Structure 1
Amino acid sequence: MIDNISWLAIYPELVLLVMACVIALVDLGVKSSQRTATYVLTMLTLAVVAAMQAMYASTGNTFYGWGNMIVSDAMGNWLKCFATLAVMVTLVYGRPYAADRDMLRGGELFTLTLLSLLGMFVMISGNNFLVLYLGLELLTLSSYALVALRRDSAVATEAAMKYFVLGAMASGFLLYGLSMIYGATGSLDIGQVFKAINGGQIRHQVLVFGLVFVVAGLAFKLGAVPFHMWVPDVYQGAPSVITLFLGTAPELAAFAIIIRLLVDGLLPLAIDWQQMLAVLAIGSLLVGNLAGIVQTNLKRMLAYSTIGQMGFVMLGLMSGVVHGNVDATAVENAYSSAMFYIVTYVLTFAAAFGVILLLAREGFESEEIADFAGLNQRSPLYAGIMAICMFSLAGIPPLVGFYAKLSVLQALVASGQGFHIALAVFAVMMSLIGAFYYLRVVKVMYFDAPLTATRVTAPLQVRVVLTANGALVLILGILPGGLMALCADAIVRALAT
């Protein structure tokens, strides 16, 4: 029997699913080349869903539904709220770009985006292996189609094929790992898996074998080395609006599924998976920052930047449990710093790609670093926003990227382990190396001669949202306490159950 709590837990998902179907049908009768009616309906839907998630999150309540397969808690609801806002920002920035490139012949951009967001919601709320996997597949299948949405582009089609092949392999890794853990514990329920492992009556070797495949699958979703091969090619080959989408909201869902699986379900195996995350973090910081130096394509450079930034997220995730001891304060600091890092990264990435989309025009992508030459002379506002984003990604105070890196490093050092302190020093060194390619973009914008005298123009809503986005990167760097406290509270409430 399904009770009211079960329905309450999935109201936002139901709204999203129903409206995605309604919008797909309504779009059949839309004649506008800008798909105005479809766009307005989509934005209204996303605004309502974001408000619902914020309302759920602000109550701080945690409840389970559908036979314990779904969980609604503060962490999940805030991540879903932020993911919804990220999708709204993506569509605001990307609609003019998509219209110029004949990507709005139908409403696929809007309906596939909504279905991808639904997949993220299911991933974030999943408390059962099958539910998590279904959400992951809904997200990835929709993402493959989005990457290939520009039908006349051979580069986009190639990127979609690479993404599909490597994504299918990673999904197989994850599913195989989950099946091994199910075979060892006899349950698909994450809470029951935790209890079975904590009881100590299960063969450790079988669990670790499954854990290796699970971590490999999760590392692919984050784009961590050595499972990063798809990131530069897909980021560069996909239409810029789709690259913006892939680099924002899905990262929040990937963080949530890591917390659900590794922390909620497999915390007794923390000694094992923290070592794996340490290796992934070292590789990601090394490859992401060194390979980014030689890139001339800005989208590809930001792809390697993403790989390096995910290394920091994994450093936060691997510093919660020390010597097998679960200390509440250490756990809160570690996982809340990782959550704060990924939320602020998504905010900064969105603003940076917003400027890339703004400078693009029909027949011109504006994705080479050289295309930004002299931008300050053509548009001081947009050059300033891009500079703020680059400085933030480099970790320069007083921007939010600095505080995000600092919070992760503090969690590492607070553990008191020599290895963690060495990792913190290594992360700082890699950040210094990575700062080169961020500062190069600023140098090109402010000190190189412009290639064209054309003024940068944008619709009013794009200018307003982009300005607010850039301002938030600065404001949250000066006043990070509110968002950090929100992340800490969400993590505490999620782990308390």
Structure 2
Amino acid sequence: MIDNTSLAVVAPEILLLVMACVIALVDLGVKSRLRNLTYGLTLASLAAVAFLTGSEAATGETAYGFGRMVVSDSMGNWLKCFSTIAMMVCLVYGRPYAGDRDMLRGGELFTLAMLSLLGIFVMIGGHNFLVIYLGLELLTLCSYALVALRRDHTQATEAAMKYFVLGAMASGFLLYGLSMIYGATGSLDIATVFKVIAGGQVKHTVLVFGLVFIVAGLAFKLGAAPFHMWIPDVYQGAPTAVTIMLGTAPELAAFAIAIRLLVEGMLPLAIDWQQMLVVLAVSSLFVGNLAAIAQTNLKRMLAYSTIGQMGFVMLGLLSGVVNGDPVFARNAYSSAMFYIVTYVLTTLASFGVILLLAREGFESEEIADLAGLNQRSPLYAGVMAVTLFSLAGIPPLVGFYAKLAVLQALVVSGSPFYIGLAVFAVVMSLVAAFYYIRVVKVMYFDAPITATTVAAPAEVRVVLTINGALILLLGILPGGLMTLCAQAIVRMLSS
């Protein structure tokens, strides 16, 4: 029998599922090219879900349901709220692009977006290995369909096939690792797994063997090197309206399951998984930033940039436990959470500008396509410049404070090795600044290739302007979001 507490814990998921089904049915009667009714109903549903998760997050309470298989806590609810807002922004930016490319013939884009968000919610709220895995599969299956949504486009179909094959392999890694941990501990419940491992009665070799596969699966979902091979091809090949969905909200879900599995479930094994994260972080920073320099395609450059940015998230995650003492856990994990949230905010704006510049029959994906953008539209060139400077970590933008928070978490540990990692990260950030500033140079100093003016619907202009302003505002006043992340992590660690 399902009690009322369990239903309250999954209320946002229920609302999301019901509205996804309603929207799929309502869309059958919609005839307009841009699916105005479906679009409006989707945004209204997502706004209600965002309000519900935000309200639950603000209370700071932790509740469990369905025999402790699902958890509703402050960290999870904030990540759900941010994921929902990110998906709303993706749909606002992506609808004109999708309409021009005949991707709105049915309401699949909106329904699949809502179902992929449902998968993200299940991943974030899962407190059981099977629940987390089911959420992951729901998200990835919707993502495969979204990438292949432009059926007559060869590049999109090829990207979907690559994503499907590599995604299936990564899911297999994660599932095999989880099965190893289950075999060793005898439980699928994260809290029980923590207690059994902390008790020290399980063979360490078996646990580490399972841990290797779990970390490999998580690295694929986050897009960390050397499990990054899918990101450049999928980002470039997928329709840009789908690329922005793949590069934003799912990153928050991947961060959430990394926290659930590694911190809540296997913190006693921190010395083992931290060593693996060191390799992933260094590889991601090195491969991502060096490979991005050689790119001429803007989406592909941002894909390699993502790999490098995930290196910083890994640095935050690996600096919470020093010499077996989790004294710096709050500081480290909150800095990683702050980094991933601000990265998503910045990525939304960068792909928003690419979507804005694309028009029917023209993708605007090459760096050269941005030539002279400042002369054609100073506002959009300004938003893109703010976004790129933030990704490069230039003050006073939010990307600078996010990098500073992660570096501070490394340095405050006092470990010479961690301080060395911080120095390496700074050097790689200097390398990254080259390819970000190169794009700004093209926008402001190169002669425009076309005299075409940039036109966009009013809601796209408004949301993009707010998005760019937030990147600047949160850089000047980061305290509120940083405190929110810190409180969420503290409540998660104490529950």
Separation of aligned partners in 2, 1:462 and 1:167: 32
- Which one-letter code corresponds to 1:331 in the other structure? A
Which consecutive unaligned segments of at least 5 residues does structure 1 have? Answer: none
Indicate yes or no: 2:375 matched with 1:377. yes
Tell me the equivalent position of 1:300: 300
Separation of aligned partners in 2, 1:163 and 1:79: 25
Indicate yes or no: 2:166 matched with 1:136. no
Indicate yes or no: 2:188 matched with 1:191. no
Separation of aligned partners in 1, 2:34 and 2:395: 40
Q: 1:345 aligns with which of 343, 346, 360?
A: 343
After superposition, what is the alpha-carbon deviation per residue over 1:176-218, rounded to whole angstroms, capped at 9, x for unaligned?
0000000000000000000000000000000000000000000
Tell me the equivalent position of 1:81: 81
Separation of aligned partners in 2, 1:289 and 1:375: 25
After superposition, what is the alpha-carbon deviation per residue over 1:205-237, rounded to whole angstroms, capped at 9, x for unaligned?
000000000000000000110100000000000
Separation of aligned partners in 1, 2:488 and 2:149: 36
- Which one-letter code corresponds to 1:447 in the other structure? F
Indicate yes or no: 2:249 matched with 1:249. yes
Separation of aligned partners in 2, 1:168 and 1:409: 34
Separation of aligned partners in 2, 1:454 and 1:26: 37
Q: Secondary structure at the match of 1:456?
A: coil
Q: Secondary structure at the match of 1:71?
A: strand
Tell me the equivalent position of 1:215: 215
Tell me the equivalent position of 1:468: 466
Q: 2:353 aligns with which of 338, 352, 355?
A: 355
Tell me the equivalent position of 2:479: 481
**Alpha-carbon RMSD:** 0.4
Q: CA deviation at 1:4?
A: 1.4
After superposition, what is the alpha-carbon deviation per residue over 1:125-177, rounded to whole angstroms, capped at 9, x for unaligned?
00000000000000000000000000010000000000000000000000000
Q: 1:368 aligns with which of 354, 363, 366?
A: 366
Following superposition of structure 1 onto structure 2, how do residues 326-345 of structure 1 map, counting pairs within 5 Å?
326-327=326-327, 330-345=328-343
Tell me the equivalent position of 1:29: 29
Q: CA deviation at 1:490?
A: 0.5
Separation of aligned partners in 1, 2:326 and 2:40: 48
After superposition, what is the alpha-carbon deviation per residue over 1:6-27, rounded to whole angstroms, capped at 9, x for unaligned?
0110000000001101111111
Q: Secondary structure at the match of 1:251?
A: helix
After superposition, what is the alpha-carbon deviation per residue over 1:428-480, rounded to whole angstroms, capped at 9, x for unaligned?
00000011000000000000000111111111000000000000000000000
Which consecutive unaligned segments of at least 5 residues does structure 2 have? Answer: none
Separation of aligned partners in 1, 2:342 and 2:325: 29
Q: Secondary structure at the match of 1:28?
A: helix
Q: How many residues align?
A: 495
In the superposition, the TM-score normalised over structure 1's length comes to 0.99
Q: CA deviation at 1:325?
A: 1.1
Q: Secondary structure at the match of 2:29?
A: coil
- Which one-letter code corresponds to 1:365 in the other structure? E
Q: Secondary structure at the match of 2:32?
A: coil
- Which one-letter code corresponds to 1:375 in the other structure? L
Separation of aligned partners in 1, 2:121 and 2:494: 21
Tell me the equivalent position of 1:49: 49
After TM superposition, what 4+ stretches of structure 1 lie above 4 angstroms from structure 2? none
Paired-residue identity, %: 78
Following superposition of structure 1 onto structure 2, how do residues 275-286 of structure 1 map, counting pairs within 5 Å?
275-286=275-286
Separation of aligned partners in 1, 2:337 and 2:228: 21
Separation of aligned partners in 2, 1:496 and 1:111: 37
Tell me the equivalent position of 1:171: 171
Separation of aligned partners in 2, 1:36 and 1:462: 15
Q: Secondary structure at the match of 1:322?
A: coil
Separation of aligned partners in 1, 2:25 and 2:2: 30
Separation of aligned partners in 2, 1:438 and 1:179: 42
Separation of aligned partners in 2, 1:5 and 1:391: 46
Tell me the equivalent position of 2:395: 397
Separation of aligned partners in 2, 1:337 and 1:427: 15
Separation of aligned partners in 1, 2:415 and 2:245: 38
Following superposition of structure 1 onto structure 2, how do residues 90-105 of structure 1 map, counting pairs within 5 Å?
90-105=90-105
Separation of aligned partners in 2, 1:242 and 1:296: 21
Tell me the equivalent position of 2:109: 109
Tell me the equivalent position of 2:426: 428
Separation of aligned partners in 2, 1:140 and 1:17: 17
Tell me the equivalent position of 2:122: 122
Separation of aligned partners in 1, 2:173 and 2:444: 46
Tell me the equivalent position of 1:449: 447
Q: CA deviation at 1:5?
A: 1.1
Q: Secondary structure at the match of 2:139?
A: helix
Q: CA deviation at 1:495?
A: 1.0
Separation of aligned partners in 2, 1:99 and 1:308: 33
- Which one-letter code corresponds to 1:24 in the other structure? A
Separation of aligned partners in 2, 1:378 and 1:154: 32
Tell me the equivalent position of 1:160: 160
Tell me the equivalent position of 1:495: 493
- Which one-letter code corresponds to 1:349 in the other structure? T
Q: CA deviation at 1:2?
A: 2.2
